[in-house]
Structure 1
Amino acid sequence: MRPHPAAGGTAFMNSVPYSQIKNADENVDPVAGVGMGNHTSVQEFILLGFPGTWYFRFSLSMMFSMMYGLTVMGNVSIIALVWITAHLHIPMYYFLCNLSFLEIWYTTACVPKAVGVLLGNSQTISFTVCILQLFLVFSLGSTECFLLAVMAYDRYLAICHPLRYFSLMSNTFCTQLAFGSWLGGLLRMMAFLVSRLSFCGPNIINHFLCDIDSLIALSCTDTSLVELAEFSASIIVVMISCAVTLISYIYIISTILKIRSAQSQQKAFSTCSAHLTVVTIWFGSIIFLYVKPAAPNSLDTNKLINSFNTIITPLLNPFIYTLRNREVKRALRKAFNRIRI
């Protein structure tokens, strides 16, 4: 049996009303929110968010809200721009639209609740909603890993096999790759495994979202199987996507270095530099968060990395792809000129 660490929320627990921790009758399923034996079952969790004064939390919530709004507008703009611009109807931008659509939902699963937690008017989260949020974070995060690997493979075909690119990357194959990425993410069943754990109290989560390390720390049953499954699944997802991405870029870089013209080299590299930047940011944070054994004493660090991963990275992606891609910038200028006229 694991001990019951309060996930960093001991001081806060003393001020939490006892009524917020649900006591259960005996001999009932704990996952359903009712007690088993002498255990206390948890029907809801309390999210601590970030510590600090009310003014600090209010300022942080306003910043999160602004970044969320920019993220949604930026990614919706990319989807709309690709939709209305005929010369962007190629596989690279088809996958970019999938990524933008994913980023909208990925940040929506986390940020609105985080803002409510920071403002202090929505710190509780039910067990069901907590598991749903965990499912969305893991599934969409895994899908993003696969999509970034697919985009790396697409750049490999475009640079290393330019004459055969459109025959190899057909519309049917593009659809299959995108569908496989989404399906691969949805099949990651960590939320189901966590939902089978027993939570007997305390119910304080030192985070602004339902994080797997926090839930493992609060469980009153043996979590070794869940920890092993989470670690193994993370290794598989990251290794597959990283391997495809790394091999693709090895071939891309070797092909670019063989080009004699410096101008042609720069043009070839510019087509994949934005994607390479996003890949570096995303996989760096993912490896730090999930490709390691669960450690309750690292929850504060995980919270900071999670805020970067779920709030800042989805905001940066549309700007990176816009500012470092000539075709997108050219399409944006045409769109603005059309609107102005």
Structure 2
Amino acid sequence: MQDVNKWLNQLHTDGVSLNIKQLLYYQTKTSLMNLAPRKTIQSKLAGSYLAKTKGRGMEFDEARHYQPGDDIRAIDWRVTARTGKTHTKLYREEKERPIFILADLSSSMHFGTQLLFKSVQVAHLASLIAWAASSRGDRVGGLIYNQHRHTELKPFTRQKAVLGFLHGLIDMHSPEDLNPGELKLSDACARLRRLVHPGSLIFVLSDFQQLDDITKQHLSRISRHSEVIAYSITDPFEHELPQVSSVQSLEITDGEAQQSLVLGEKQTALQYKVAHQQRFQQLAHVLRQCKVQTLPITAASALETQLVQQGRAAK
């Protein structure tokens, strides 16, 4: 409990609500997030990332024999003088790579049993990604949604874009929006498809409880021309039941349906654990089929602790 209070104080949060101070905290933590491209940049806009295609740019690639149609301004006169044959310089093109963040703040995300609500952890992770992108000079945009409404933010550079995104997270996390609604992950992904450009880096932050065939189609089509990374946000209660000293019966609800849950029975606990393991394995399998990289994040510990551990494991 002491460790929990320590982290809550350090993160400037109560674990349930959002404020700008806790999101500004991640401005100094950008080294935790590696945003280096893993796929070929397909953007048509000039930017700061070296592409595999050769053309006009700042990064010299090679000199080759002059061919009809080559720009005479690119002739390499030193190589030409040395070899006696006309050579032209080729450069690596620099491409732009906008970064988009889809942040799920729907009703299922407003849940947590140890440190933070899943929705708060999503906001922290989205904030870190946005600050890291800004520090690299990338344009930052995205889509924030809950079950009632959504906010689309076109990608912009500068700190102003990040602050606009952070205020969007706080606004969309409003307790007034906790009542049941009709907006789903598939709706958000459909809007994201219209918003993103080829060659983008896209982060999807969700518990994926609403992952369906329509959502899978959208993610598959986005991943054809962009790099997509999914952070699956969970709570320990979604993996296994808490241990108790005596058998207890609880009434639980998701806001609509209600059912009973028995704690303290070994067989029930085992069935619960196995069922949820299968669900998360299936989720990872489906996202791999969509060509989406999946990384787990728990709401039960500080984000920076988990990212440091993931970084060590990747080495």
TM range, smaller chain: under 0.3
- Structure with greater proportional strand content: 2
* TM-score normalized by the length of structure 2: 0.26
- Structure with greater proportional helix content: 1
Structure with the greater relative contact order (CA < 8 A, sep ≥ 6): 1 or 2? 1
* TM-score normalized by the length of structure 1: 0.24
* Structure of larger gyration radius: 2
